[in-house]
């Protein structure tokens, strides 16, 4: 490719259209041609970047690897620019640049920047304008990608959290269907019972009182075993069928042998004890299954409400008074699956009457997600996550504290830099803390870090509404 051909291509570039021809000629004279064969990389992540690359021919792809997956960022076509630019802080490649077809580039090394800045104003202006546009676009795209990754994590956790109560409902509904199928056979025995109205009223009152008090009485394992043995002995003495299955259920609802004995002696014939006890058990089993279905459905409702609150559905897009504790609770709900998987203890007891802050709830929830998710990743199984929320003069502070290994002092100044991560390759983008800090700054707040072995604290300070 001749200098004249290169110059003709550069003239057609939208970025360089207002640059005088002598300056473009200087660019051609000081640039170096480079050819990248198809399917080879111009840069891989971490490579030093020392040149501005002007695409003259071919097609290249810029992509990142996030969570082990290749994600395309953009394509470089003829007239596009890549690489470093004047006044840019770029030193190494943050992603990968792959030639999709054989590509030709004009490369201007950074050693020529001082001369260009001093002697070629329009060319410098065009490249600086390109740099500012690139920064804005990079920030927008990368923040959106980070949001999508966070959404992916939350979706996986949400599916896991919803699966448990949904499976419980299916399981309980199936058990209820089988249980009700046995009712007609037992009903025959019930029909032969001879009990006075007073006896029926007494039994009904006893059952409903037990159901009202609820199951799962607070008993130690030893106490429970002792009560089951006592009830089992009483049931077997009165020739009650399936006594072994009845005893645990009766213990769940707090029945004692004394209560059953008093009722049987006063109101029942010996032959009626068996059908009455099975009728009692039948009601308790039904109550237990219906209660389990209700609790599972309630849990699904709570998760859905948390999602609606977290995503700020049905609300406007402007800032409004926000209770920070509510957003943090919703975030913990959506990350519960990760907390459970590592058996992490959560300490979160926000004070009452906490003053609100003026904020975009969805943006703050992304901050909590990034900080809490990072803390979970840093903790060992069985670790502790503590979240403190407190008013401080005209501010509200949120401290997210973990008792993990801590962040080494030599890298504490780097953790907020874009693309810096201590996680394994493919498991972190290095954008979470940078985005969190920017979002906090947009709310006129600040995000700080203090860390030592056994205690890492990220503190968010936001002005009160």
Query: How distant, in Å, are the alpha carbons of 55, 153, 166, 306, 381 from that of 341?
Result: 49, 14, 19, 20, 8
Whether the CB-CB separation of 257 and 231 falls below 8 Å is answered with yes
Asked if 174 and 287 sit in the same domain, the reply is yes
Question: Rounded distance, CA 247 to CA 256, Å?
Answer: 10
376 and 269 fall within a common domain: no
199 and 92 within one domain: no
Q: Identify the domain boundary among 85, 119, 153.
A: 119
In a domain, 301, yes or no: no
Question: Taking the model in full, what pTM does it have?
Answer: 0.48
C-alpha 346/C-alpha 384 separation (Å) is 6
d(CA 13, CA 53): 13
**Which has the minimum average pLDDT: 135-144, 280-289, 356-365?**
135-144
**Per-residue pLDDT for 104 more than 90?**
yes
The larger pLDDT score, comparing residue 8 to residue 429, is at 8
Residue 343 and residue 219 share a domain: no
Mean pLDDT: which of 196-205, 266-275, 368-377 is highest?
368-377
* 172 phi/psi in degrees, rounded to 5: -70, -40
pLDDT digits (tens, 9 = 90+) for 180-207: 766 665 665 665 566 667 777 777 777 7
Segment 305-332, tens digit of pLDDT: 766 666 554 455 578 888 898 889 888 8
Longest dimension (CA), the chain: 115
Residue 341: which pLDDT band, with cuts at 50, 70 and 90? confident
| Judgement on whether residues 235 and 181 belong to the same structural domain of the protein | yes
| Phi (first) and psi of residue 305, to 5 degrees | -65, -40
In a domain, 357, yes or no: yes
DSSP H helices in 214-252: 221-237, 243-252
Per the structure block, which two tokens stand in for 56?
């003259």
Q: Indicate the number of domains in the chain.
A: 3
Write down the mean pLDDT value for the chain.
Answer: 82
Residue 136 placed within a domain: no
Give the angle 439-441-443 at the CA atoms, nearest 5°. 80
Please name the residue that has the structure tokens 């082990």.
68
Looking at the fold, whether 337 and 265 belong to one and the same domain comes out as no
Q: Are both 258 and 331 inside the same structural domain?
A: no
**433-445: average pLDDT:** 85
Task: Cite the beta strand spans of 67-174 per DSSP E.
Answer: 69-76, 81-83, 96-109
- Range from 268-272, 273-277, 283-287, 376-380 carrying the lowest mean pLDDT: 268-272
And the tokens for 163?
Answer: 């699966």
* The predicted structure's pLDDT at residue 315: 52
pLDDT, tens digit (0-9, with 9 covering 90-100), for 15-44:
898 899 999 999 999 999 999 999 999 999
Long-range CB contacts (< 8 A, 24+ apart) of 136-140?
Answer: 139/438
Domain of residue 388: give its range. 318-463
* 246 and 202 in a common domain: yes
Per-position b or e across 393-404, b if 16+ CB within 10 A of its CB? eebbbbbbbbbb
Tell me what pLDDT residue 431 has: 60
- Is residue 349 domain-resident? yes
Tokens coding 21: 């021809």
For residue 290, the surrounding DSSP H or E stretch is helix 273-311
In a domain, 428, yes or no: yes
According to DSSP, the residues that pair with 401 across neighbouring strands are: 386, 457
Radius of gyration of the chain, Cα coordinates, nearest whole angstrom: 35
| CA separation, residue 333 to residues 168, 299, 303 (Å) | 19, 11, 7
The distance of Cα 176 from the centroid of its chain, to the nearest Å, equals 35
Q: Regarding predicted confidence, which is higher, 176 or 47?
A: 47
Residues 280 and 178 in one domain: yes
Q: Residue 271 — pLDDT band, cuts 50, 70, 90?
A: confident
pLDDT digits (tens, 9 = 90+) for 212-242: 776 556 677 888 888 889 889 988 888 888 8
Q: Are strands 32-36 and 96-109 parallel, antiparallel or unpaired?
A: antiparallel
Average pLDDT of the residues in 453-463 = 92
356: left (phi over 0), alpha (psi -120 to 50) or beta: beta
Query: Helix (H, G, I), strand (E, B), or coil: what is residue 7?
Result: helix
Tell me the CATH number at 380. Answer: 3.30.565.10
Domain end call among 95, 119, 143: 119
pLDDT digits (tens, 9 = 90+) for 235-262: 888 888 888 888 888 888 888 888 888 7
């Amino acid at each position: 490719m001749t200098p004249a051909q290169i110059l003709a291509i550069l003239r057609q570039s939208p970025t360089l259209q207002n640059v005088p021809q002598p300056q473009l000629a200087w660019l051609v004279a000081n640039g170096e041609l480079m050819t990248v064969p198809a399917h080879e990389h111009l840069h891989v992540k971490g490579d030093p970047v020392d040149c501005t690359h002007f695409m003259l021919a071919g097609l290249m792809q810029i992509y990142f690897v996030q969570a082990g997956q290749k994600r395309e960022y953009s394509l470089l076509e003829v007239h596009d620019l890549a690489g470093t630019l004047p006044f840019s802080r770029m030193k190494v490649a943050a992603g990968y640049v792959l030639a999709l077809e054989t590509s030709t580039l004009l490369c201007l090394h950074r050693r020529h920047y001082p001369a260009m800045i001093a002697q070629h104003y329009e060319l410098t202006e065009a490249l600086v304008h390109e740099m500012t546009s690139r920064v804005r676009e990079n920030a927008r795209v990368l923040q959106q990608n980070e949001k999508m990754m966070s959404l992916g994590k939350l979706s996986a956790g949400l599916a896991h959290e919803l699966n448990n109560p949904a499976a419980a409902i299916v399981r309980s509904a199936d058990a209820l269907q089988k249980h009700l199928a046995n009712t007609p056979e037992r009903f025959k025995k019930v029909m032969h019972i001879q009990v006075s109205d007073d006896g029926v009223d007494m039994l009904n009152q006893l059952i409903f009182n037990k159901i009202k008090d609820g199951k799962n009485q607070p008993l130690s394992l030893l106490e429970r075993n002792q009560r089951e043995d006592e009830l089992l002995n009483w049931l077997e003495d009165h020739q009650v069928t399936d006594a072994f299955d009845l005893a645990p259920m009766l213990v769940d609802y707090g029945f004692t042998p004394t209560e059953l004995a008093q009722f049987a002696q006063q109101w029942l014939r010996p032959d009626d004890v068996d059908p009455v006890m099975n009728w009692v058990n039948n009601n308790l089993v039904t109550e237990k299954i219906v209660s389990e279905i209700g609790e599972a459905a309630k849990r699904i409702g709570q998760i859905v409400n948390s999602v609606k609150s977290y995503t700020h559905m049905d609300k406007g897009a402007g800032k409004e008074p926000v209770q920070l504790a509510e957003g943090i609770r919703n975030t913990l709900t959506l990350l519960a699956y990760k907390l459970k998987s590592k058996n992490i203890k959560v300490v979160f007891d926000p004070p009452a009457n906490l003053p609100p802050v003026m904020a975009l709830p969805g943006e703050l929830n992304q901050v909590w997600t990034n900080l809490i998710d990072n803390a979970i990743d840093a903790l060992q199984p069985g670790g502790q996550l503590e979240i403190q929320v407190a008013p401080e003069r005209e501010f509200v502070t949120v401290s997210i504290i973990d008792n993990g290994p801590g962040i080494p002092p030599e890298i504490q100044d780097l953790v907020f830099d874009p693309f810096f991560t201590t996680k394994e390759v493919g498991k972190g983008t290095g954008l979470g803390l940078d985005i969190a800090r920017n979002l906090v700054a947009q709310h006129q707040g600040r995000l700080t870090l203090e860390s030592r072995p056994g205690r890492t604290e990220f503190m968010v300070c936001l002005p009160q509404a």
